[in-house]
Chain A
Amino acid sequence: MEEKSITALLGANGAGKTTTLRAICGMVRTEGTIRFSGDPIQGKRTEDIVRLGIAHVPDGRGTFLHLTTEENLRLGAYARKDRANVARDMDRMYAYFPRLKERSHQQAGTLSGGEQQMLAVSRALMLAPKLLLLDEPSFGLAPLVVRELFAILRTINAEERVSMLVVEQNAAMALELADNACVIETGRVVLSGSAAELKKDDAVRRSYLGY
């Protein structure tokens, strides 16, 4: 993966997209090596991998439903050592997602699906990560909300200089967002290249874009 870029991971149901993300985070056992900034990280505990600067927006968002929005964000920064900058970053998140500020003292469980997804992204960004893993950020959201979210992701990528690895079912949207993309089938990468190239690829068009 290229640093500071957005990579999309495409594939059909059961191809191993989510598993790839979970493997990076040490949530499932794996064979082979996973390198981050040149160092192998496989076999490490999830907690320790997070401390290296890999944030994960999991499948299902992983919101702490009974805590407030603000407490969710504070938890995102739990593993950070530079406590001084946390308040500043929290304000930045509220600037990206003003809706979260309005609901900062509300229980996160009362937020709408889109708001929860925004919260999940902000919570992950509160780690000030080098790499952000996003598992199906569009899942269950209205197209308009997805568009809004993806635009903000693009901005964040540019402003915060954080690399992103996005798993998506919605290939068209993902290719709009990403710089590069990989297609995996039953656990193997079958195709990879820039997003623009993949969009033109016939096989991809037929199988994933549907035209």
Chain B
Amino acid sequence: MDALLQQVFAGLATGGIYASLALALVMIYQATHLVNFAQGEMAMFSTYIAWALIEAGMPYWAAFFITIGIAFVLGAVIERVVIRPVENASVLAVVVVFIGLLVILNSVAGWIFTYTIKSFPSPFPRELPFGLRFMSPHQLGAIGVTVVVLLLLYAFFRFTPLGLAMRAAAQNPESSRLVGIRVGWMLALGWGLAAAIGSVAGMMVAPIVYLDPNMMSGVLLYAFAAALVGGIDNPWGAVIGGFVVGVLENVLGAFVIGNELKLSVALIIIIGVLLVKPSGFFGRVQVTRV
């Protein structure tokens, strides 16, 4: 029983990270109906920036917030420079551009920071004054950070005019222009926010999986699975999906199929959900007019 609980809590901790990345994917999907295959590599790159800042002697939390800022700007710039020209291109063209982006970020990170695996610090203490039976302080901290990010995002979209405008631009670009919203900037802003959320996920997962240019490929797969479980157009679904997938991964990995097939869990979830319930468990059913 203890072993099971331990796996469940570990699953919640990684699940929070999947949830964040899934949320980033969903944000971009809602605005553009595209799945950003480079989301993981963008997060990985930001995490390297944080690492470099910390290596240069900056305190952890300062590096943390500066990295979020840099990631935001990078995300917005990528949207304006790389994605804008293919906004109305075919799905294939867009997918190729995303994969190109993935490959470039991956190789540039390898080029600058080498492919050697690095350890990444956790901001949370090793030992806590009170005993934690089922999880490490970093796991607890990661869950905490995820929850804070989610609450901030919720408040932003629910209560600020800018958040409302972003939601409007994602839903109905033409009407948004008619009320004076600069839709192009909203898209860039969305990418910036998604990149910022991704950077948090990267910094939270790096102490667990260690830092290397390929560290996010598995995480991205789980984030895909999470987003699909929740319904790729539903942010709340993505969050719930993240936690569900995190727990499934850990519990199945530990007790049923073994750790060596963990990625296949993601593969099976992705294909399974797409086949059985393509709109996810919390998504809207899309009807296409022909």
- Does B129 touch A at the CB level, under 8 Å? no
Interface of B, helix, strand, loop or mixed by DSSP: helix
Give B180's nearest chain A residue, CB to CB.
A79
Contact code string B182-214 (vs A, CB < 8 Å = 1, else 0)? 110000000000000000000000000000000
B74 vs chain A, min Cβ distance (A): 25
A-side contacts of B183, CB under 8 Å: 47
Contact A56 B178 (CB under 8 A): yes
Chain B residues, Cβ within 8 Å of A123: 179
Does A16 touch B at the CB level, under 8 Å? no
For A133, the closest partner residue in chain B by CB is B178
Interface membership of chain A positions 40-66, coded 1 if the CB is closer than 8 angstroms to chain B and 0 otherwise: 000001110011000110100011111
Which of B106-114, B144-152, B163-171, B271-279 faces chain A? B163-171
Task: Say yes or no: is B181 at the interface (Cβ < 8 Å to chain A).
Answer: yes
| A64–B178 CA distance with the chains assembled, in angstroms | 12
In the assembled complex, the Cα of A50 lies from the Cα of B174 at a distance in Å of 12
Chain B residue numbers with a CB within 8 Å of A50 are 177-180
A74 touches B161 (CB 8 A): yes
Q: Tell me the minimal C-beta distance from B238 to chain A in angstroms.
A: 16
Q: Which residues of A contact B161 (CB under 8 A)?
A: 74, 78
Q: Which residues of B contact A90 (CB under 8 A)?
A: none
Which of B165, B172, B174 lies in contact with A78, CB distance below 8 A?
B165
Question: How many residues belonging to B are interface residues under a CB distance threshold of 8 Å?
Answer: 17
Residues of B within 8 Å of A64, CB to CB, are: 168, 171-172, 175
Report the Cα distance A65→B167, complex, angstroms: 11
Interface check A141, CB cutoff 8 A: no
Q: Is the CB of A47 within 8 A of B180?
A: yes
A89 within 8 A of B: no
Q: Which residues of B contact A51 (CB under 8 A)?
A: 180
A55 to B161, CA, bound (A): 19
Interface string of A93-112 (1 = CB under 8 A from B): 00000000000000000000
- Asked whether any CB of chain B lies closer than 8 Å to the CB of A179, the reply is no
Give Cα A143 to B161, complex, Å. 37
User: Whole-angstrom distance between the alpha carbons of A78 and B181 in the complex?
Assistant: 7
Q: Is the CB of A76 within 8 A of B179?
A: yes
Q: Select one of B167, B175, B180 contacting A62, CB under 8 A.
A: B175
Which B residues touch A47, using CB under 8 A?
Answer: 177, 180-183
For B179, what are the chain A residues with a Cβ–Cβ distance below 8 Å?
A: 50, 75-76, 78-79, 123, 127
Show 12 residue pairs from A and B whose CB-CB distance is below 8 angstroms, ordered by the A residue.
A27-B174, A47-B181, A50-B180, A55-B178, A56-B178, A63-B175, A66-B171, A67-B167, A75-B181, A79-B179, A79-B180, A123-B179
Q: Which residues of A contact B (CB under 8 A)?
A: 25, 27, 45-47, 50-51, 55-56, 58, 62-67, 71, 74-76, 78-79, 123, 127
- B-to-A contact residues, CB < 8 Å: 161, 164-165, 167-168, 171-172, 174-183
